[in-house]
Structure 1
């Protein structure tokens, strides 16, 4: 019998499994430059880490008074992002190791992300993670994006898991808040280290304050094994 009992693990994608934020930033910078906004910086981008692309575009329209429609901007950014993602997306090495450790124990796993389904599948296929992570939920497939719990609850539903048995891995405060709202435990690995004191991260069962530079597959595995409820 597995030491993990009924535990199910749900991964956020961007900034958690893969370092896709540089590609999202570049796609956003190019999209905004096409609309005449030429001063979009990495610091500006960090404000949108953890929320869906559609929500980001909606906020951009208001902030920058853009004339193009949300649908047009979304299509433009997604096209640019997919071009970049297919060319180069880096998996965090310790995260890949963690996925492999869980797979060896037959722990059910899913990806629940604010990205479009096309972007998620392109990254999983391109990085070789698709063989391990077959259950995927995009924010496009649920009513509300993070910090609402919808994507995580849908992932649990598709896996036939009780939310109380689910553990979410997240890099952003809205995602940690969504996990808490879903009634799930959370391992938080802040992508933006300066945001580690965000109140949403305080709800995490395990907070890796230093982010990916401090995350190790073995430490996460041991924490999960020690905190997992036994089969009912």
Structure 2
């Protein structure tokens, strides 16, 4: 029997399991440049970490007065992102170790992400994490994205787990808020460490203020037990 009892673990994908934000930034930057915005910077992109691509593009369309429909911008960005994701996506080594620890214990796990189903599949397949992370929920499959709890609640439903028995790993404030709204404990690993004081992270059961540099698979496993 697992040392973690009836616990289930739900992972955010981008910025939590894998460092995909550089790919999202590049895909968004290229799309904006194509539509007449040539100077979109990484610091501007950081403000949208944890928000779905569709919501991000809707906000950017309004900010820059873009004429193209959001659906067109989304299709272009997703196409660029998928190409980048398939070419190279880096899984955080300690996160991979953590997934392997949980898999060895038979702990039910899921991925709940704001990315599209195609992007999630490309990343999990490319990193080999699809071998153990088979339950996947995209925000495209639920009514509301983070910070609403829908994607986490659907992941729990598919795992057959009560929300109170789930722990979420998240890198972004909207995701931490979604976990709290779902009635789940949260381990927060801020991707943008300067945002560690965001009020949403205050609800986390465990906050690693230094982000991935502080994440240790064994230490977090021991914390759960």
- Fold-level match, TM-score > 0.5? yes
Q: How many residue pairs end up in the alignment? A: 225
Q: TM-score, normalised by structure 2?
A: 0.99
CA distance in 1, matches of 2:124, 2:85: 10
CA distance in 2, matches of 1:65, 1:224: 47
Matched, 1:160 2:160: yes
The equivalent residue for 1:77 is: 77
Runs of 4+ in 1 over 3 A off after TM superposition: none
CA deviation map 1:82-135 (0-9, x unaligned): 000100000000000000000000000000000000000000001000011000
CA distance in 2, matches of 1:67, 1:14: 28
The equivalent residue for 1:106 is: 106
CA distance in 2, matches of 1:107, 1:51: 28
Deviation at 1:3, TM superposition (A): 1.3
CA distance in 2, matches of 1:147, 1:170: 12
Deviation at 1:12, TM superposition (A): 0.1
The equivalent residue for 1:228 is: none
CA distance in 1, matches of 2:221, 2:162: 20
CA distance in 1, matches of 2:48, 2:137: 20
The equivalent residue for 1:229 is: none
Q: Root-mean-square deviation (CA), in Å?
A: 0.4
Provide the secondary structure at the position in 2 that maps to 1:85.
helix
CA distance in 1, matches of 2:21, 2:152: 21
CA distance in 2, matches of 1:137, 1:161: 14
- Stretches of structure 1 lacking an aligned partner (at least 5 in a row): 226-232
Deviation at 1:63, TM superposition (A): 0.6
The equivalences for 1:90-105 within 5 A come to 90-105=90-105
CA deviation map 1:36-94 (0-9, x unaligned): 00110000000100011111111111111110011100000000000001000000000
Matched, 1:17 2:47: no
The equivalent residue for 1:150 is: 150
Matched, 1:200 2:200: yes
Deviation at 1:25, TM superposition (A): 0.3
CA distance in 2, matches of 1:217, 1:99: 8
CA deviation map 1:179-232 (0-9, x unaligned): 00000000000000000000100100000000001100011100111xxxxxxx
The equivalent residue for 1:179 is: 179
The equivalent residue for 1:136 is: 136
Q: TM-score, normalised by structure 1?
A: 0.96
Deviation at 1:2, TM superposition (A): 1.7
